[in-house]
Amino acid sequence: MPRLTIDTAYLTEQLKALLTIPSPTGYTDTVVRHVAKELERLGLKVELTRRGAISALRQGSRRASARAVVSHLDTLGAQVKRLKENGRLELVPIGHWSARFAEGARCMIFSDAGTYRGTILPLKASGHTYNEEVDSLPVGWPYVEMRVDALSRDLKELTRLGIDVGDTVAIDPQPEFLDNGFIVSRHLDNKAGVAVMLAAIKAMEDAGISTPVDTHWLFTIAEEVGVGAASILTPDIASMIAVDNGTSAPGQNSAEFGVTIAMADQTGPFDYHLTKKLVRLCQDEDIRYQKDIFRYYRSDSASALEAGHDVRTALITFGIDASHGYERIHMHALRSLSELITAYLTSPVEIERDRNFHAGLQGFTRQPDVEAAQELASDTNPAE
């Protein structure tokens, strides 16, 4: 089947829209509504869990051994830890990210009284006051505070605003979409993955493509705190591909171009057969790709496996520079991911045994163990 055309203008439009919606873990209702309505507009049947994880079904030729694609809607953020005597707020992070990237961030706090704007600043922010001490302050969340853009010169005035311990703080993304294809913003992890999935759905709907099995498009709401797809998987799903970011950094093989296929993360190797199939599809469809392993990383699939789901999992990523900070990606990777997703979902099911929850040995997969052929040099002249 010819490779489907991905509408990159639509992908960009959706990513821009997603980035405008604050969605730190625990404050995701608005982004859930946005994505659910877009999925319905594209023609999919949408269901939500109690807390708001989305499952959108696109029917295929059969239900058994269904496939799933998953991204997460939640992002990093912060919460109010303490109201301080100087009228500012002590914060703790939502998700794992460095206070180094919090310093100077513009942000919004959601209180019972409404939203307030503010800035996260180091405790010693004024060079005119602290001189060289502004450069010697340690890095860490105890060394930053949120300055609220409202009358809050002391604890009494701060309390009057209605701000309280536990209130959620969303960090401004400050996105830039450059003409050369680079995109710079916070929260590309994983708003970009969501946009990739929406673009893949649109391409399949526009082309009227049928698939051999049902496809479950899953969008989770708490991946940044370690809760992924465990609560939304159904028993008929035999394989699941997570779409997330791959870390482009020294010592890593990820790239900001093409698809980066993860071979393992900190939870262990991904499914051998599913990962091999994705590599083969990249080769067959002439989709640029590279492989990588992530040592300090877990994706939506981790919680599903830890919860005991018997599902094949794989992770495909867009290379991202400075993950969990001011992130940078390239449109080439996003388009490549959408192309791979559509190629996978339209490909034949190769492991028919997976349609059964339990079965005998017949039809079980095989992993190669044949010794590799080698061209050996002469015993008398090893250099030959």
Active site residues: 223
Pairing state between β 176-177 and 168-171: unpaired
Instruction: Give CA–CA dist 108/148, Å, rounded.
Output: 9
Which residues have CB under 8 Å from 189's CB, separation 6+? 75, 76, 244, 245, 320, 323, 324, 327
Q: Are 204 and 58 in contact (CB under 8 A)?
A: yes
Read out DSSP for 152-174? -SSHHHHHHTT--TT-EEEEP--
Q: Dihedral sign, CA of 26, 30, 80, 302? A: positive
Instruction: Give CA–CA dist 201/204, Å, rounded.
Output: 5
Instruction: Give CA–CA dist 76/223, Å, rounded.
Output: 10
User: What are the backbone dihedrals phi and psi of residue 142, each rounded to the nearest 5 degrees, phi first?
Assistant: -65, -10
Both tokens assigned to 155: 């604890």
The annotation status of 330 as a binding-site residue, yes or no, is: no
The annotation status of 224 as a binding-site residue, yes or no, is: yes
Instruction: Give CA–CA dist 180/228, Å, rounded.
Output: 33
Q: Dihedral sign, CA of 264, 297, 73, 340? A: negative
The annotation status of 179 as a binding-site residue, yes or no, is: no
The annotation status of 384 as a binding-site residue, yes or no, is: no
Q: How many residues does the chain have?
A: 384
Q: Is 259 helix (H, G, I), strand (E, B) or coil?
A: strand
104, amino acid identity: G
Instruction: Give CA–CA dist 79/86, Å, rounded.
Output: 18
Both tokens assigned to 365: 């997969």
Q: Is 251 helix (H, G, I), strand (E, B) or coil?
A: coil
Q: Are 314 and 281 in contact (CB under 8 A)?
A: no
Q: Dihedral sign, CA of 41, 44, 49, 50? A: positive
The annotation status of 324 as a binding-site residue, yes or no, is: yes
Of 143, 168, 188, 178, nearest in space to 319 by CA: 188
Q: Are 88 and 18 in contact (CB under 8 A)?
A: no
Binding residues for Zn(2+): 72, 189, 224, 244, 324
Binding residues: 72, 189, 224, 244, 324
